[in-house]
Amino acid sequence: MRRNEHGPLFLFDAWFVRDVVKELAPYDTATPFVERGIFITDAELRNLRVCYRMSRRMNYVHQSAGCIRMTPHSTLDALMDFLRQGCRALVFAHSHPRTDSLEATNPSHTDMCFMKDMFAMGANILGMIVLTPVEEITFVRFFSHYMPFRVRVEGRGAHLEQKKGQDYVYRINM
């Protein structure tokens, strides 16, 4: 779904986004890259979503450079933690391997199927893809083809990419 000024505004602090990147895409060159995923919750104020807290680390049935499948128990525990605090998961963030192109931030077919399944179950969540940092710079894309939304990342070191076809891609200085 393209930019829609009537959807909720998801507001992220650049410091928090850097923490998400460090959790999901650590730039440890000694370890081979594998995808990781977490849920993010926020405070909801009418049409504003202030994103501020990550779920606990997930356990995986399958984890590789191109795919993750979380254990049902791990996913349930993460979501129940939010519900106990009166929150709900509104963002699913995961990592993609870094290439020299912003295209690496595009959602894969698997990403889109996951988002479609979540939406079908009533979870209107925003997708977030983070890339492994290279030379202290990374890119983050926010996406959903199932709900209108807006995103702002505020704070030092966050810059919205102004390239055609790159809606909601931010360059983040680590």
Q: pLDDT tens digits, residue range 50-98?
A: 999 999 889 999 998 888 999 999 999 999 999 999 998 999 999 988 7
Note the pLDDT of residue 67.
87
Q: Answer whether residue 147 is part of any domain.
A: yes
Strands (E), 15-157: 37-45, 48-54, 60-63, 68-70, 89-96, 126-131, 137-143, 150-154
Q: What CATH number does residue 113 fall under?
A: 3.40.140.10
Please give the tally of structural domains in the chain. Answer: 1
- Element of type H or E holding 116: helix 109-120
- pLDDT band per the 50, 70, 90 thresholds, residue 2: very low
Q: Answer whether residue 62 is part of any domain.
A: yes
Q: Answer whether residue 88 is part of any domain.
A: yes
pTM confidence score: 0.91
When pLDDT is averaged across residues 102-115 and rounded to a whole number, the result is: 90
Q: Answer whether residue 2 is part of any domain.
A: no
Q: Answer whether residue 1 is part of any domain.
A: no
Range of the domain at 114: 9-173
